[in-house]
Amino acid sequence: MSSRPWRVRSIAAGATIVAVGLLAACGSNGNHASNSSGPSGTVTVLSVNGNFVANFNPFSPSAQVGTFGEIYEPLLFLNTAKAGSVQPWLATTYSWSDGGKSITFQLRHGVKWSDGKPFTSADVAYLFQLEKSNSALNQYGLPLAGTSTSGPYSVTIDFTKPAYQDLYLFGGRTYMIPEHIWKNIKNPANNLNSKPVGTGAYQVQSVSPQVLTLTANPHYYLPGLPRVKTYRILNYTGTASQTAVENGTLGWAGAFISNITKVYLAKDPKYALVDIPLSVTYLIPNMVKGPQTALPVRQAISLAIDRGYISQAVYNGYAPAVDPEGLILPNFRNIASPAALSDKFGGANAAAARKVLQQAGYKMGGNGFFTTPSGQPLTINVKLVTGYTDYISILQIMQSELKSAGIKLTYTQEAYPVWAADQNDGNFQFLISNAGYTPSPYSYFYNLLASAVTRPLGQGTGVFGNYGRYHNSAVDALLANIAGTTDLSAQKPAFYQLENLMKTQLPDIPLMEGQDEIEFNGHMVSGWPTKANPYAAPPIWLQPDGAWVADRLRAAS
């Protein structure tokens, strides 16, 4: 990624513990250390996704960074970088009942909204009732049945079916809102919410097209947090972001820098690179309309790509090819079929790609490109965000590889807000993007394949996954089977079938491990997560992990 903040806000799910008591938020990173002098200093952070707009609506796919976690908080923190790690946030404990169809949260005492009103169980119940009554707000297609409260600190959420595997969706990726404000908002899906009131460690200080400034909430409820007084998130375009990282302008970034160990790490011993595998880079096809809806086209494209060459040419080998099942390994090793563990993509095979198309009735034209069985030129287009130079390089290599297979590839660069709207509305043939960012293989497949999270073409409100709008009732049934039990041995057969479907049907075409390198400037900041201490995933754009990190970093003195 040539700086890929907010490229994907993938859904995720975590541990499937039937009942658990959660300890106070702490860790080896010193999360509970005192900060008697209060938050201090300013940290600059990278953004490259277009001009800032004061949109802090947690129901909006286009909400600004800072909305999810820094301002509005979830009930739990499930660490994307460390499967099975569940920590309290607004809730202190939870327990399942009724075979996974009901969950009760005990809430933290003494929490206030940033306007001084108390946060209570009524706020939690209001949010989930709001999502139940308005499908556009039920971002993850949760099977909500109802809610109830028992005093100000206990709330129960009921589901229409077992929801063990949805814990992170409603516990870790649904953000609490104040009832006393949102009950007066007539159109909650589209309201910009430019002056947000949350429970989080940060508040909005100012918004301009180029700079978003967050300042510490002086009444935050966790002792010693946050530690940084001010975050200035700076908007860059094109290669300016890389220059800013290399020159030490930024304290926290996620820019793609070719040959990064030589041009960044070697320049200064205080520069640090954190590379925790979190995702897979995919070509995501529109499965509703276009030539790519035909399986032979997707098969031919996949056969024509040399993933190993692309990894070396673009990423110096830092982003190796994944298996044909698209699994994030080693995180998902416990559900990987034996075939998946030994499965590998071969190099480019243009002859095999042409054969697949010919057998499906595609005809080679005089210009060296195929036509479809109906006589239309076989041309595909891939949309990407302007300035994502690594993706541009990938697509330029693929243009040559697909040309050898008789497929014409073009690509279109768009400013991030335009690209995001096209992604959510389904206005594309292919996207090149990342998926993953979850410790749970269930949520990984759910995000890629579940019908429940889709909307009709042209309707992007509430779309937070399955952007290609893939529909398969058999897949939905397999996901439901997995979600209905915590027994891994009972889940495995369903996972194996999903893996085989990914390989044979290519609802998404896997390319390589996501290039998830994040840069920290030790002259400006300290306390970031590392591979040895992955207390959260390090990208600021990956929420709520980015907020968990933002709360715990320190500005260098």
- DSSP code per residue over 492-525: HHHHHHHHHHHHHH-SSEEEEE---EEEEETTTE
Measured CA to CA in angstroms, residue 119 lies from 111, 197, 198 at distances of 6, 11, 9
pLDDT digits (tens, 9 = 90+) for 83-135: 778 999 999 999 999 999 999 999 999 999 999 999 999 999 999 999 999 98
306 residue type, one letter:
D
Residue 239 confidence class, pLDDT cut points 50, 70, 90? confident
401, pLDDT greater than 90? yes
Task: Give CA–CA dist 182/303, Å, rounded.
Answer: 50
Alpha-carbon distance of 70 to 73, in angstroms, equals 7
Taking only the tens place, the pLDDT of each residue in 164-219 is: 988 988 999 999 999 999 999 999 999 999 999 999 999 999 999 999 999 999 99
| 467 three-class SS | coil
Show the tokens assigned to 252.
């926290």
List pLDDT tens digits, range 475-506. 999 999 998 888 899 999 999 999 999 999 99
- Residue 310, token pair as written in the block: 């692309």
Domains and CATH numbers, the chain: 19-198+516-555 (3.90.76.10), 279-513 (3.10.105.10)
Q: What pLDDT, on a 0 to 100 scale, did the predictor assign at position 36?
A: 55
Is the Cβ–Cβ distance between 414 and 422 less than 8 Å? Answer: yes
* pLDDT, average across residues 452-463: 81
Average pLDDT, the chain: 89
Q: Please, which pLDDT band fits residue 462 given cuts at 50, 70 and 90?
A: low
The more confidently predicted of residues 360 and 38 is: 360
The yes-or-no verdict on residue 441 having pLDDT over 60 is yes
Q: Position of tokens 């109830």?
A: 148
275 vs 400, which has greater pLDDT?
400
Give the whole-angstrom CA distance, residue 78 versus residue 84.
7
For residue range 46-75, list pLDDT tens digits in order.
987 778 999 999 999 889 999 999 999 999
Q: How far apart are alpha carbons 46 and 124 in whole angstroms?
A: 33
Per-residue buried b or exposed e for 262-286, using 16+ beta carbons within 10 Å of the residue's own CB = eebeeeeeebbebbbbbbbbbbbbb
